[in-house]
Amino acid sequence: MKTFEFTRPPDATTAIATAAHAKTAQQSADVRFIAGGTTLVDLMKLNVETPARVLDINRLPLDKIEPTSDGGLKIGATVRNSDLANHPTVRRDYPVLSQALLNGASAQLRNMATTAGNILQRTRCMYFRDTAMPCNKREPGTGCPAITGANRSLAVLGTSEHCIATNPSDMCVAMAALEATIHVQGPKGLRSIAFGDFHLLPGNTPHRETVLEPGDLITHVTLPTPIKGSKQLYLKLRDRASYEFALASAAVVISVVGGSVVRARIALGGVGAKPWRSQEAEAALVGRSADKASFRKAAEAAMRDAKAQSQNGFKIELAKRCLTHALQMAITT
Ligand SMILES: Cc1cc2nc3c(=O)[nH]c(=O)nc-3n(C[C@H](O)[C@H](O)[C@H](O)COP(=O)(O)OP(=O)(O)OC[C@H]3O[C@@H](n4cnc5c(N)ncnc54)[C@H](O)[C@@H]3O)c2cc1C
Ligand code: SF4
């Protein structure tokens, strides 16, 4: 690991002003915030991330879960994943989020990992994590060996000829389905970003993963008012039952009246270059009977634009089955 300066800024304003000196935005920047450290320290040990300055934000007052005035929920950036998963309001009103969090990593990691850190975790693509290999995301312009190499776990939706990395987060899939909003404080002030607009597709700039600018600090995430009477479920399919990333996952929030779907929010994990909200699946569901045939049609719609690489074609059918099954399970809970 390269040497770096470690400081604890006394407040958010100082943290932001210091981080604003970075040449690029947070990811790969030379000045970095650190929260739980479970992504950043890993990547620093591998020399994939080599910040000169690391700013510890754990003492900033960003660790609360509070109701919002409009009936939603405000989740601080440094709230630990385990605290969020086990919060009574989250378990009651946003169970899909609790389930997604509890399906991620391990109990020990969830005790350290934070809301903002989870949103900004980086791909598990093996070439990205190996500095002996080329990788457009780590070193722009060097190439993407995954396209012809080991791509079994990589994305089939939203990829480009420059990068096919999967976004690995479980929590983000639930937040996409819940239509969360990310709140950022930066050198130019405060702004709110719809969850679906926060992560960027790789296109020809795979090193740019989010809309964050140098100095931007995620302060909190808000969830809208819970949808009364909705059924929610997170289903994760993976190579082993715990401590493993998704091959395919689905977060569903569905309302059924008189046997018909009146509202659906669908997001997929493990298959997309970003947490994958599927408005195609939602459109295919609304107004249809809440049965297996409609659910399968919605899953077909969700995966219509999927593009397989040499080893990950199985994910397309896996994701369809995952979503179909998640919807069936949701309406029977
Ligand atoms: C072995 C292992 C297995 C895992 N399995 C899973 C899994 O199955 N599912 C899953 O979803 N995740 C999994 N993870 C990933 C884990 O969820 C993330 O590492 C964790 O959520 C990151 O949170 P953190 O607080 O530790 O982030 P950190 O490592 O502290 O930070 C991550 C990034 O976020 C930036 N950052 C942190 N806070 C802020 C802020 N407030 N504003 C702006 N930038 C900020 C940092 O600069 C850094 O770029 C796994 C991790 C490991 C190591
Ligand atoms: S898929 Fe993306 S992260 Fe993986 S090697 Fe290619 S460019 Fe790098």
pLDDT digits (tens, 9 = 90+) for 166-185: 999 999 999 999 999 999 99
Q: Which atom of ligand 2 is nearest to the CA of 162?
A: 7
- pLDDT reported for residue 215: 93
List beta partners, residue 248. Answer: 237
Residues 273-316: tens digit of each pLDDT = 999 999 999 999 999 999 999 999 999 999 999 999 999 999 99
Q: Is 169 in the pocket of ligand 1 (CB under 6 A)?
A: yes
Strands (E), the chain: 5-7, 31-34, 53-56, 65-67, 73-76, 181-186, 189-194, 217-223, 231-237, 248-257, 260-269, 276-277
Q: Other CB atoms closer than 10 Å to residue 325's CB: what's the count?
A: 17
Mean pLDDT rounded to a whole number for the chain: 96
- pLDDT reported for residue 48: 95
How far away, in angstroms, is 313 Cα from ligand 1 center? 28
Phi first, then psi: give them for residue 249, nearest 5 degrees: -145, 160
- Give, for ligand 1, the residue of 28, 31, 38 to mutate: max count of ligand atoms closer than 8 Å to Cβ: 38
Phi first, then psi: give them for residue 106, nearest 5 degrees: -135, 165
Q: How far apart are the first and last CA of the chain?
A: 48
Residues 121-161: tens digit of each pLDDT = 999 999 999 999 999 999 999 999 999 999 999 999 999 99
What distance in Å separates the CA atoms of residue 97 and residue 93, rounded to the nearest whole number?
9
List beta partners, residue 189. Answer: 186
- Residue % of the chain over a pLDDT of 90: 94
Instruction: Let me know the angle formed at the C-alpha of 221 by 69 and 75, rounded to the nearest 5 degrees.
Output: 70
* Average pLDDT, integer, range 181-199: 97
How far away, in angstroms, is 27 Cα from ligand 1 center? 12
- pLDDT reported for residue 26: 62
The answer on pLDDT for 223 being more than 90 is: yes
- pLDDT reported for residue 241: 87
Q: Which of 271, 274, 269 has the alpha carbon at shortest distance from 153?
A: 271
What distance in Å separates the CA atoms of residue 242 and residue 239, rounded to the nearest whole number?
9
Q: Whose alpha carbon is nearest atom 6 of ligand 2?
A: 144
Ligand 2 neighbours, Cβ below 6 Å, are 123, 125, 127-128, 135-137, 144-146, 154, 163-165, 206
Instruction: Let me know the angle formed at the C-alpha of 274 by 268 and 277, rounded to the nearest 5 degrees.
Output: 40
- pLDDT reported for residue 27: 64
What distance in Å separates the CA atoms of residue 326 and residue 159, rounded to the nearest whole number?
24
What distance in Å separates the CA atoms of residue 88 and residue 91, rounded to the nearest whole number?
5
Residues 9-36: tens digit of each pLDDT = 999 999 999 999 888 776 678 999 999 9
Q: Is 167 in the pocket of ligand 1 (CB under 6 A)?
A: no
Give one DSSP letter per residue of 188-242, joined into a string: TEEEEEEHHHHBPP-TT-TT--BS--TT-EEEEEEEPPP-TT-EEEEEEE-SSSS
What distance in Å separates the CA atoms of residue 168 and residue 131, rounded to the nearest whole number?
20
pTM: 0.98
Q: Whose alpha carbon is nearest atom 49 of ligand 1?
A: 27
Phi first, then psi: give them for residue 18, nearest 5 degrees: -70, -45
Task: Mention every residue, 6+ apart, whose C-beta is less than 8 A from residue 18.
Answer: 7, 9, 31, 53, 55
- pLDDT reported for residue 22: 84
- Residue % of the chain over a pLDDT of 70: 99
Q: Whose alpha carbon is nearest atom 23 of ligand 1?
A: 117
